Amino acid sequence: MVSLVLVSHSKSLAESLVGLIRQMAGRELKIGVAAGAGPDHEEFGTDATDIARAITEVDSPDGVLVLMDLGSAILSAEMALELIPPDIRQRVRFCPGPLVEGGIAAGVQASLGSDIETVCREAHRALQPKAEQLEGSVEGVAPVVEVAPPLEAQDFHQVEVVLKNAHGLHARPAARFVQLASKFDAEILVTNLTNQKGPVSAKSLNALATLGALRDHRIRIMARGKQATEALEALRRLVEDRFGEPVGAAEGGPPPIQPVVAEAEVEVQGEEGVFVGLPVSDGVAVARLYHYESLPPMVPHDYTSDPEAEWERLQDALEKVRGAIQARYREMVARVGPEEAAIFEAHALLLDDPDLLQPARRLIFEQRYNAAWAWQTSVEAMVAQYQSLDDPYLRQRAQDVQDVGNQVLRALSGESREKIVFEYPVILVADELTPSETAQLDLEHIQGIITLSGGPTSHSAILARSLGIPAVTGLPPAIKRLSSETELGLNGFRGRVWVNPDERVRNELEVERRRWLEERQKLLASSLQPAVTRDGKRVEVVANAGNLTDAQLAAQNGAKGIGLLRTEFLFLTRQTPPSEEEQFQAIRDIGLALKGQPVIVRTLDVGGDKPLPYIPMEPEANPFLGVRALRLSLQQPDLFRTQLRAILRAGALANLRIMFPMVATLEEVEQAREFLSQVHSDLESEGIVHAWPIETGIMVEIPSAAIKAEALAPAVDFFSIGTNDLTQYTLAAERGNPHLAYLGDGLHPAVLRLIEQVVQAAHQEGKWVGVCGELAGEAEAVPILVGLGVDELSINPAGIPKVKAILRAMTMSEAQSLAQKAVKCAKASEVRRMATKFLQALGVGG
Ligand code: PEP
Ligand code: MG
């Protein structure tokens, strides 16, 4: 028979519940209790060790179902799993059902001899009868999942799309979805057709999260109202464009989430012990421990006689937190780039979420709770909703709600947290670091990060990797009991943490740390050398960048400049266009990070498949053939002029070049150059310092431009071949369509012929040619492109050392004869085979 474990903050509550369950389920059922904290369990709280004991005591071959009350009970129960033997662990299930009703339902079902899944299901559904009786509402707290209007309403339009981005509707994509949906005057609902969850409102981040919508899930978006069709079109495109995440982000991004607690094991030998957790960021460190505590904010539990004033107080606090979050966002954009900082945008959105605000409002006006108490109640309900989701990635987002919730509570109580500055190197130990806490830290002195919870995709793990700080997660709570005098050793490759390492271990760690730092240095040093072929031809290797972090990484990895700066990063995650000043500062900072090396700034490449919410765009049947890139800039003169002004101004301080994307004809180049000269004249007459003349090139990514390269060459200073688009347009195969991936090979001889033609036309005019599509970073393509005469390769910063190694291993004449054979091939696969053999013969793999 399945046995139960009840985990509660209150010993008396749990004990009474056992009596209640026994009344209905009989005495045979084994029920373990882990409730209360402190020596006699009389204090309110939960304890992982106690939960582990209870599970072990009632362990049964049919499994153990654990039911918990709120908040830390769940965390403690998860931690308890670390402490029990693996054979018992695999029989344990955590049930998201409510403690009281769920406990009774589970007890009855277990006593009938049902299997653990059935018992869990019954407990999970235990609130249904009550909810139905109360007509779907629990007094004071609205259900997170909004009940949709009857679907037979005929005025709904709808589309169905499949989520193709790495994590489905997780925090950031969901935030973008909500932001976009909120722009339209339409009621919009979303249903997850894969797991049959929903419909829920598309304008609530929390409601969307309850859909548990993951990669490859099919969702239905329904809309009615004035702008229903526009809304559907925009949302469809957002999803189909993978929310702007790069294709392959899943592969290149952080490792997939794993059940942290299940994997961690502990080998503690007193104070001299070794902890084993999950490695989440490479590197080795030895330093003093620093306990980072997130103190829960104060929440008075008293009633108000003036609900209006309490509601006002809550509004003021929300406003204050909004300002702080926006400031943090800007700081983190500068520090780690817009992608990592995007979480703060999701945080700001939570402040407007009706699923948090409406219950809080009801509690203030109907129950007369004070603002803090009402807000906390609403936040806790939301946190519990997240924690009950199946997907571990979405479950982790409970932390974001808690984080924002606590900030509002602090603002209400007038508390503030000062920035923590360390005077010596430390290894930080924390339960988990929230984004706002991380932003408060003096990162310079942090040599390592240890967290108890949070997986490889948690914010602290992502941040540690971006900053190159070694980190381990999933450590047991015992580490929290160590004194702050303790010295820790940390190995972020293997997930090990040593407590007061003895001299031998310490020496070994020091050696490993030196080796790690030297290795980093060596890689850097070799990639800092120029790339010269064995027969003396120098090839420029530069990098593609999408933000300041990329640019800094590029400089560290030995890029001789930025061959493609995608300025879209300044536009895509906003509600309004960036001002000239904002663009100027961002471009200037990137230019300065490259310390005089050239940076090719590509003007805006959005539109079509990447809509901007603040630019009115007609829906298009074929967005990739539509108004995008330079076409959009030419149709939006103000937007274009503002960007050109910012680039020319930043060019006075850094070595910048300009490049126009998606050029199809000579007329477009002439018009774009006309805009540029006009902007120069304006700046001149306003007496504003700017770069002039400025090297100006175009992207060759449309076959017409490649075929007529000889006509375009005199009008430009350089060409940069965008093989991503050139391949899609040459083979008429949309680059994001997975069913056509087999056609999207840039090494197809048809594409290579066009590249050859472009190079010849450019060289005849004395102009140089770069390649900035992904092909430039593919090992097999490197000798072929260079053999065709390409002068510069612009690639992902991380790929620079490898490309340089290939260039150094080959000669130009070998590469030229390989390239000549390649253009004569009939198939892309033949080209690849030849190139692989070529690389193998050079000893640089393939
Ligand atoms: C390309 O098309 O090859 C290119 C580099 O531009 P993007 O990928 O930004 O369209
Ligand atoms: Mg392109």
- Reported as a single tens digit per residue, the pLDDT across 428-462 is 998 777 766 776 677 778 999 998 876 665 666 76
- Residue 783 in tokens: 């000798």
- Residue 165 in tokens: 């981005």
Q: Answer for the pair 132, 141: CB distance below 8 angstroms, yes or no.
A: no
Q: How much is the pLDDT for 386?
A: 85
Spans of all domains in the chain? 3-126, 153-244, 263-292+420-510, 307-413, 533-842
- Residue 495 in tokens: 């997930």
Kindly report, residue by residue over 273-322, the tens digit of the pLDDT.
Answer: 788 888 888 899 999 999 887 666 778 888 889 999 999 999 999 998 89
Question: Quick one: what percent of the chain has pLDDT higher than 70?
Answer: 86
Residue 21 backbone dihedrals phi, psi, to 5 degrees: -65, -45
Q: Which of 344-348, 353-357, 748-752 has the highest mean pLDDT?
A: 748-752
Smallest CA separation from ligand 1 atom 1, residue:
722
510-517: list long-range contacts, CB under 8 Å, 24+ apart. 510/286, 512/284, 513/283, 513/284, 513/285, 513/286, 516/282, 516/283, 516/284
How far is residue 346's CA from residue 444's CA, in Å, rounded to a whole number?
A: 26
- H-type alpha helices, 765-809: 781-787, 800-809
Q: How much is the pLDDT for 465?
A: 67
Smallest CA separation from ligand 1 atom 8, residue:
724
| Cα 736 to ligand 1 centroid, rounded to whole Å | 12
> pTM for the whole thing?
0.48
Helix (H, G, I), strand (E, B), or coil: what is residue 237? helix
- Residue 585 in tokens: 């500062």
Average pLDDT in the 676-681 region?
98
CATH architecture of the domain formed by 307-413? Orthogonal Bundle (1.10)
Q: How much is the pLDDT for 263?
A: 28
Average pLDDT in the 742-753 region?
94
Kindly report, residue by residue over 619-663, the tens digit of the pLDDT.
Answer: 788 888 999 999 999 999 999 999 999 999 999 999 999 999 999
Helix (H, G, I), strand (E, B), or coil: what is residue 437? helix
How far is residue 274's CA from residue 277's CA, in Å, rounded to a whole number?
A: 10
Average pLDDT in the 235-261 region?
55
More confident residue, 70 or 266: 70
Q: Which of 94-108, 454-468, 581-595, 727-741 has the highest mean pLDDT?
A: 581-595
| Cα 773 to ligand 2 centroid, rounded to whole Å | 7
Q: What confidence tier does 609 reach under pLDDT thresholds 50, 70, 90? A: low
| Contact 701 CB / ligand 1 (< 6 Å) | yes
Average pLDDT in the 672-698 region?
97
Residue 459 is among the residues annotated as catalytic for this protein: yes
Say which DSSP state 145 is in: S
Half-sphere exposure of 44 (CA within 13 A, CB side): 5
Instruction: Describe the crossing of helices 371-387 and 307-336 by its angle, rounded to 10 degrees.
Output: 50
Smallest CA separation from ligand 1 atom 6, residue:
722
Q: What confidence tier does 776 reach under pLDDT thresholds 50, 70, 90? A: very high
How far is residue 283's CA from residue 494's CA, in Å, rounded to a whole number?
A: 9
- CB burial of residue 109 (10 Å; 0-12, 13-18, 19+): buried
Q: Where are the beta strands (DSSP E) in 284-374?
A: 284-292
Q: What confidence tier does 149 reach under pLDDT thresholds 50, 70, 90? A: very low
Is the pLDDT confidence value at 212 over 70?
yes
Q: How much is the pLDDT for 454?
A: 65
Q: Answer for the pair 751, 825: CB distance below 8 angstroms, yes or no.
A: no
- Cα angle 527, 529, 534; round to 5: 105
Q: How much is the pLDDT for 456?
A: 60
- Partners of residue 656 on adjacent β-strands: 599
| Contact 566 CB / ligand 1 (< 6 Å) | yes
Q: How much is the pLDDT for 791?
A: 96
CATH of domain 533-842: 3.20.20.60
CA 234 to chain CA centroid, nearest Å = 22
CATH of domain 153-244: 3.30.1340.10
Spot the catalytic one: 9, 170, 347, 772.
772
Q: How much is the pLDDT for 755?
A: 98
Is the pLDDT confidence value at 131 over 80?
no
How far is residue 278's CA from residue 178's CA, in Å, rounded to a whole number?
A: 33
Q: How much is the pLDDT for 714?
A: 98
451-486 as b/e: b if 16+ CB within 10 A = bbbbbbbbbbbbbbbbbebbbbbbbbbbbeebeeeb
Ligand nearest to the CA of 746: 1
| Cα 35 to ligand 2 centroid, rounded to whole Å | 59
Q: How much is the pLDDT for 253?
A: 34
Among residues 452, 443, 336, 356, which one has the least CA distance to residue 403? 356
How far is residue 458 from each of residues 206, 281, 321, 398, 434, measured CA to CA in Å?
A: 18, 12, 22, 11, 9
| Cα 596 to ligand 1 centroid, rounded to whole Å | 25
| Contact 577 CB / ligand 1 (< 6 Å) | no
Q: How much is the pLDDT for 759?
A: 98
| Biggest CA pair distance of the chain | 93
- Residue 431 in tokens: 């339960």
The minimum-distance atom of ligand 1 relative to the CA of 564 is 5
Within 8 A by CB and 6+ apart from 704, the residues are 664, 665
What torsion, rounded to 10 degrees, do the Cα atoms 230, 234, 237, 239 define? -120
How far is residue 834's CA from residue 813's CA, in Å, rounded to a whole number?
A: 16
Is the pLDDT confidence value at 29 over 50?
yes
Which residue is listed with tokens 């009840």? 6
Stated as kind and residue range, the H or E segment containing 158 is strand 157-162
Which residue is listed with tokens 């972020």? 492
| Cα 662 to ligand 1 centroid, rounded to whole Å | 9
Smallest CA separation from ligand 1 atom 10, residue:
725
Average pLDDT in the 138-156 region?
46
Among residues 96, 104, 511, which one has the least CA distance to residue 286? 511
How far is residue 326's CA from residue 347's CA, in Å, rounded to a whole number?
A: 9
Specify the range with the lowest mean pLDDT, choosing from 694-698, 738-742, 822-826, 830-834: 738-742
| Cα 837 to ligand 1 centroid, rounded to whole Å | 28
618-626: list long-range contacts, CB under 8 Å, 24+ apart. 619/229, 619/230, 619/233, 623/237, 624/728, 624/734, 624/735
133-157 as b/e: b if 16+ CB within 10 A = eeeeeeebbbbbbbebeeeeeeebe
Smallest CA separation from ligand 1 atom 3, residue:
722
The minimum-distance atom of ligand 1 relative to the CA of 701 is 2
Residue 95 is among the residues annotated as catalytic for this protein: no
CATH of 3-126, one of 1.10.150.20, 3.30.2420.10, 3.30.428.10, 3.40.50.510: 3.40.50.510
**Which of 663, 699, 730, 775 is the best mutation target for the ligand 1 pocket, counting ligand atoms within 8 Å of the beta carbon and taking the most?**
699
More confident residue, 469 or 391: 469
- Residue 92 in tokens: 């344990």
Write down the number of H helices and E strands in the chain.
34, 26
Average pLDDT in the 204-211 region?
76
- Could you check whether 153-244 and 533-842 share the same CATH topology? no
**Which of 572, 772, 774 is the best mutation target for the ligand 1 pocket, counting ligand atoms within 8 Å of the beta carbon and taking the most?**
772
How far is residue 246's CA from residue 253's CA, in Å, rounded to a whole number?
A: 10
Q: Answer for the pair 216, 162: CB distance below 8 angstroms, yes or no.
A: yes
Average pLDDT in the 748-768 region?
98
The CA-to-CA distance between both ends of the chain, in Å, stands at 57
Spot the catalytic one: 41, 459, 680, 690.
459
- Partners of residue 201 on adjacent β-strands: 189
The minimum-distance atom of ligand 1 relative to the CA of 568 is 9
**Which of 566, 572, 660, 793 is the best mutation target for the ligand 1 pocket, counting ligand atoms within 8 Å of the beta carbon and taking the most?**
566
Q: Which of 194-198, 338-342, 774-778 has the highest mean pLDDT?
A: 774-778
Q: How much is the pLDDT for 699?
A: 98
Class of domain 263-292+420-510: alpha beta
| Contact 724 CB / ligand 1 (< 6 Å) | yes
Q: How much is the pLDDT for 269?
A: 34
How far is residue 131's CA from residue 197's CA, in Å, rounded to a whole number?
A: 18
Question: Quick one: what percent of the chain has pLDDT higher than 90?
Answer: 43
Q: Where are the beta strands (DSSP E) in 642-787?
A: 656-660, 696-700, 718-721, 768-771
Q: How much is the pLDDT for 337?
A: 65
| Cα 661 to ligand 2 centroid, rounded to whole Å | 7
Q: How much is the pLDDT for 490?
A: 96
- Partners of residue 449 on adjacent β-strands: 428, 471
Residue 455 backbone dihedrals phi, psi, to 5 degrees: -95, -165
